[in-house]
Amino acid sequence: MAFLVGLGGLYPAGMKERSMAYAPLKEVYKDYFYIGAAVKLGEYNSTPFYQAYGERLLEHFNSFTAENGMKPENIYRDGTYDFTYGDRLVRYAREHGAVVRGHTLVWHNQTSSLIPGKIPKEEAKRLLKEYISTVAGHFRGEIHAWDVVNEAVGDGSQWRTSSPWYQSYGGPEYIREAFEYARMADPDAKLFYNDYNVVQPGKRERIVRMLEELDLVEAGLDGIGIQAHWNLVWPSVDEISRTIETFASMGLEVHITELDIDCYDGNPSTPQMEYTPELEERLSRRYAEIFEVFRQHKGEVTSVTFWGLTDPDSWLNGFSGGRFLKERRENYPLLFDGKGDPKKAFFSIINW
Ligand code: GLA
């Protein structure tokens, strides 16, 4: 087989030509919202990210999120800051006319380098202020939207009380402070609260309660990030609509921040499935109905980001239903296959 060598590495001859035959996602949706992808920029030292991702990323996406590169565990160690990954992503985005979603400043996961567990409150307050001022300050003017706080609301109760931030503060005030510090450090970035299961009525209500109780809009919050780790059957399009409308009616922007569709419907024990034409069809219809809802909420949904680019690179090959799998299981959650070719789902969202 003949290959072409391009920015994106090796591609079978013909692929580039074929890729010209359909409209780029970012063009199709330019009057609706940003189209983003989470990228593994710089996370593999031996494989520059553009060998695996560059071509598709630049062709279809105008918003980039670092999948891991801008989380505290990759920025902060022993009191020192390392902005290598974020700087590279910001530079790359600027060179190619894309925006960057900053992900994430305050979280309970992947943060042990910063706050390993419960620490004295005064120390936690000092750290929170220093970390946000330093990081959001470093990227000031370069970040379109920050996920300032990620996953601080509980699944069955109001707060995620196991968070080291919650434990150290002895309450949720760290959330409001985080928005205040982010607003001071980068006055122009849009500031988001980001979470999963936002479409679940109980959690949605708890998020609304948090916004009111902590007066987060006054502290600088601009919008809500709906992660959208969804599946073929959940959530219903009605629930998605209701959720967008709930936040839009409060004057907030809605970003879809981590979209992917688990083809195992959140069941970790289902054996590996082949990507049959039936499954391809179901996935394609699912993406079509979801994007129809997003389009209906033009002006309210202002950014849609996929959590990855190609199926083999998705975290869902190792995670399902809230837990990590013992063995890799091929999942098919995204728009591009392992060769970088668009799947039927891709065509279902560009032709409607
Ligand atoms: C959450 C986080 C993301 C990512 C995913 C799994 O949704 O917000 O950063 O870690 O889990 O990849």
pLDDT tens digits for range 320-329? 998 999 999 9
Residue 2 in domain: no
The confidence score (pLDDT) of residue 259 equals 98
Report pLDDT for 54.
74
Q: Over range 37-57, report the average pLDDT.
A: 65
Any ligand 1 atom below 6 A from CB of 192: no
Residue 286: pLDDT over 80 = yes
DSSP 271: P
Give every CB contact of residue 145 below 8 A, 6+ residues apart in sequence: 99, 101, 102, 189, 190, 191, 192, 222, 223, 255, 303
Tokens 């059957």 label which residue? 233
Residue nearest to atom 9 of ligand 1 (CA): 67
The answer to whether the CB of 258 is under 6 A from ligand 1 is yes
- Measured in Å, residue 282 CA sits from the centre of ligand 1 at 25
Looking at residue 189, its pLDDT comes to 98
Average pLDDT over residues 30-52: 73
Question: pLDDT, tens digit, for every residue of 68-109?
Answer: 999 999 999 989 999 999 998 999 899 999 999 999 999 999
Does residue 244 fall inside a structural domain? yes
Query: Coil, helix or strand for 349?
Result: helix
Q: Please report which confidence band the pLDDT of residue 51 belongs to, taking 50, 70 and 90 as the band edges.
A: low
Average pLDDT over residues 234-252: 98
How many domains does one find in the chain?
A: 1
Which of 68, 109, 256, 257 for a ligand 1 pocket mutation test, highest count of atoms within 8 Å of Cβ?
109
Q: Would you give the DSSP letter of residue 83?
A: -
13 located within any domain: no
Give yes or no for a contact between 61 and 335, defined as CB atoms under 8 angstroms apart: no
Q: What is the pTM of this model?
A: 0.92
Which of these is catalytic: 173, 258, 300, 327?
Answer: 258
pLDDT band at 15 (very low <50, low <70, confident <90, very high): very low
CA pair distance 279, 233, nearest whole angstrom: 13
Domain with 109 in it: 25-350
| Predicted confidence (pLDDT) at residue 4 exceeds the cutoff of 70 | no
Q: Is 196 in the pocket of ligand 1 (CB under 6 A)?
A: yes
DSSP E strands in the chain: the ranges are 3-6, 9-12, 34-39, 63-66, 76-77, 80-81, 99-106, 145-150, 190-195, 223-226, 229-231, 253-262, 301-306, 319-320, 323-324
More confident residue, 17 or 298: 298
Q: Whose CA is nearest to atom 4 of ligand 1?
A: 67
Atom nearest to 315 CA in ligand 1: 12
- Active-site annotation holds for 59: no
**Within a domain: 19:** no
Atom nearest to 67 CA in ligand 1: 9
- For residue 40, the model assigns a pLDDT of 82
CA dist 139 → 96, 129, 158, 246 (Å): 18, 15, 32, 31
Domain for residue 4, yes or no? no
* Residue 7 pLDDT greater than 70, yes or no: no
Q: Which atom of ligand 1 is nearest to the CA of 107?
A: 8
295 occurs within a structural domain: yes
Least confident of 48-52, 89-93, 139-143, 332-336: 48-52
Give, as one character, the DSSP assignment of residue 118.
Answer: -
Q: What distance in angstroms lies between residue 269's CA and the mean position of ligand 1's atoms? A: 21
Rounded distance from Cα 259 to ligand 1 centre (Å): 11
Average pLDDT value over all residues in the chain: 91
- Pick the closest to residue 73 from 135, 125, 143, 156 (CA basis): 135
Instruction: Let me know if residue 11 belongs to a domain.
Output: no
User: Does 6 score more than 90 pLDDT?
Assistant: no
The domain that contains 196 carries what CATH number?
3.20.20.80
Residue 240 resides in a domain? yes
